[in-house]
Structure formats: C-alpha cells, structure tokens
Amino acid sequence: MLRSSNDFHGPQPYLGGWFEPNVPGVIIAAAAHWGPRRRLLVDIHHHLYLFSIQLSRTPNSYYHASRFVFTAATALVSSVLGSPVARSCSSPYTRKEWRELSTTEQTQFITALKCLGELPHSTLVPTNYTAGIVSVNPSSSRYDDFVYAHMDTNVKDHFTGLFLPWHRWYLTAFEKELRTQCDYTGYLPYWDWSLDSGNVVASPVFSSSTTTGFGSFGVAPGYQVTDGAFATVQRAYPTPHVIARNFKAKPFEEQVFPFEFTTPDLLAADTFTPAKITEIVNGFSGDFIGFAAHMDGVRAQGMHNAAHLMTRPGDLSNPSHSPNDPLFFLHHANLDRIWDKWQRKSTANSAAYGGGSVQDLAAYDTYPVGAPPNVDTTWALPTSGLDSALTVSDVMSTTGGYLCFVYSEFTGSA
C-alpha cells in the first residue's frame, strides 16, 4: 500500500526488476530480458505510480485518490504479468515426506535437481544486502542462481523476522523452477528429521543410491560427497567446488557465531526429536517471535541450526551457501511444515507475525528474531530477481491464494 512519497528512497524492487522512483521513466537492472509487452505495461504502471506520488503530496482526498491510482495500476499490470494477485486456493497440492515418495517419484525429483544444475545461469538482480560475497559467476548454473540469492539476501532473512516467510517463498520459487524448467511433475518433499533422531546417519536421505540417494558423508580433509546421485557434482559458489558433507554429532563444540554456545556438548539429534516438535507446535500461542526464536534455539542451539551444523564443515553447515547441498530444500521444507502446523493450531497463531528487520548477532540474546526497525506483513521480500514483487502477506498462509499447498502428516518410522 502506498503511504506517501516519503516511503520510497532509492531503487525499489519492482516486478522482477528495479526502478528509481524519483527519476521519471527509469527502470533499471532486470529490464534487459523483458519483452516489448512487459516493458510497455511496466512503463504505464511506472508513470501511474509517479502520478500517484504527486497526488499523495496534496491533502486528504487526493492522498486517498493516489492510493486508488497506484492500486489500480498494480492490479492492471499484475493481471497481465502474473505478479501476485488475490486468488483462491480450492485444490491445494501436497508436499510429502521423502519416505512417502515412491522410488519413481524420488528418482524424478533427483533428476529434476540435477537438471537445474545443468541449465545455464539466468537473470539475477542482486540486492547487495550482504557485504563481501563474490560477484555473480556468468558460468554458473540456474541451480547456482538460487544459491546466490540465498547468499545475497542472507543478512536480511536470517535471525530476523523475515526468516520464515522468506524461506517459504524461496522454497516455492525453487519448486516452480523445477516444474517449469525441468519438466518435474511432482512437488518439493520434506525431510522429517525427527523420525531419524535416534540414528541420524541411517536416514534414507543419506542413501548412496545413484538414482534416489543424496549421498552419504565425505572424508577429511575436503569431505566431498563421492556417492549417491550427487557424487562429484560441482557448485559455483563461493568458488567452484564439489558438494561437501560431514556428520558431526555434537556440532556446537566449536564456536561459529559471535557468541558462545551455552551447551557445547548438546547432541544435534536431541534438538529435533518428535517431542521437541510437539513442544514448539503446541507452545507460544499467538507469539510468533517466541516461536521463531525457539526454532533457532537459545544461543542458536535449536532444530534449525542443529540440522545445518551437524554436517560441518560441509556446504549445508554454511549460513550463506548452504543451498549448495540439495538437502537444504528438504530440511527447510520441514521447518516450513512445522511453522504451518503451528499456524493451524489457532487463529491467534495464523495471524501472528513480528520481529526485527536487522540481524544483530552481537546482541542475539536480546534480538534473536532481529532488531528494529520491526517488520510487519506489508514488508517486502527480497527476491534477487528470482520473482516479482512480493510481501510477507503473500506467504503468510500456504493456502492463502498466492500459495496453494499443504503438508502431509506422515506417521511412518525411520
């Protein structure tokens, strides 16, 4: 919603590109790949936007008129370009646990993952939020583009209020890419690690099958994955390398954050038992910040970080380029499933949202879900050019219209 012209300073994320609101007619960055129809519609929308800005600078009724002009323009362009618009969700698809998939379905998913890794790099519009990361590698793959987006926006969507909604969007964008670019007819599976908490290394996701396995664990010093479907597969970021993975039962023994782990001998598996999932889903009524903080854990020793760090020093354990390991997507789908279960417990939970927009690890105990300025559901999600303009409200529900899926309730055993 347009509040006033003062809300916009500098380049803004805009329909898969960026525009400069104070320079008439200037749309920068991702315009090069747009066709004439998209360029025309975006230009119309941009000029209507500038007109609404002028109206917003005049009192009362003109301000409301400006909101109408901007909203109408957005609806027009969105209806043609496919940007998020209000829609219903009458037939949601189902994301299943990895063990629920047939051998054929598992093979199809892994084939699609490998396909995306073989497609050439496409359009990215870096936000440059995260300092110090490498430049886009023009020789990288479309899979690598998703890794880069995770690196690019890392400080905005980790240890902040954007963590859960951003990753919900990110998983869906990745799923769509598999389906549209690699002829995948299924959906993103999740890995319920609670089923494996008694013996993590025996989980079927670590199978060495060349068609249905993500591979086991490498050996020192590089820990490169040498078996399974992704044996010797290379990723581009931060530098070209073979996917690496290790298993470290007590991942908190070595400090990795600018604060000390309070329980260094804690087993990773003890953070994601079935009891721990029940505890977080049934707790924190109406308290999104409490829920999100618990998922990351006291001093970041919760289920989210444990499942990452237990693969140290592999790719999955790195906060920035963890999506290099395709298990990232199954891991985060499970986290999203847990958030969805919590949301569905009550109306108070489904509407709850909050946290800060600034990652502040130096003050993690005070701001585990981000420091001010605080976020709300109108907050934009940084997509690095992988998607059109989105806000948190678009992804608050998995069946809200923009999203239309549910998670299965798998009750099998490891």
* Chain segment 16-62, per-residue pLDDT in tens: 333 333 333 333 333 333 344 444 444 444 444 444 434 444 444 44
Helix ranges restricted to H, 139-231: 142-152, 163-181
Res 411: pLDDT: 82
Closest CA to 94 of 339, 398, 346: 398
Res 85: pLDDT: 54
CA distance 111 to 326: 12
CA distance 84 to 74: 10
What dihedral angle (degrees, nearest 10) is formed by the CA atoms of 13, 334, 375, 61?
60
Residue 14, pLDDT > 90, answer no
Region of residue 16 (left: phi > 0; alpha: psi -120 to 50; beta: else): left
Question: What's the rounded mean pLDDT across residues 362-377?
Answer: 98
Res 87: pLDDT: 77
Res 270: pLDDT: 99
The answer to whether 251 touches 316, Cβ cutoff 8 Å, is no
What topology does CATH give the domain 94-204+252-407? di-copper center containing domain from catechol oxidase (1.10.1280)
Q: What is the mean pLDDT of the chain?
A: 86
Contacts 24+ apart (CB under 8 A), 257-264: 257/299, 257/300, 257/361, 257/364, 258/361, 258/362, 258/364, 259/299, 259/300, 259/361, 259/362, 259/364, 259/365, 260/299, 261/299, 261/300, 261/301, 262/298, 262/299, 262/301, 263/299, 263/301
Closest CA to 327 of 173, 95, 167, 98: 98
Question: What's the rounded mean pLDDT across residues 286-315?
Answer: 98
Domain boundaries, the chain: 5-81, 94-204+252-407
CA distance 74 to 170: 23
Least confident of 29-38, 150-159, 289-298, 364-373: 29-38
Residue 391, pLDDT > 80, answer yes
What number of other Cβ atoms are within 10 A of residue 117's Cβ? 20
The answer to whether 66 touches 2, Cβ cutoff 8 Å, is yes
Residue burial 152-172, b: 16+ Cβ < 10 Å; e: rest = bbbbbbbbbbbbbbbbbbbbb
More confident residue, 412 or 317: 317
* Chain segment 54-102, per-residue pLDDT in tens: 444 444 444 344 444 444 444 444 444 444 555 789 999 999 999 999 9
CA distance 40 to 47: 11
Query: Which pTM was predicted?
Result: 0.81
* Chain segment 191-250, per-residue pLDDT in tens: 999 999 999 999 999 999 999 999 999 999 999 999 999 999 999 999 999 999 999 999
- Dig out the tokens for 91 from the structure: 């037939």
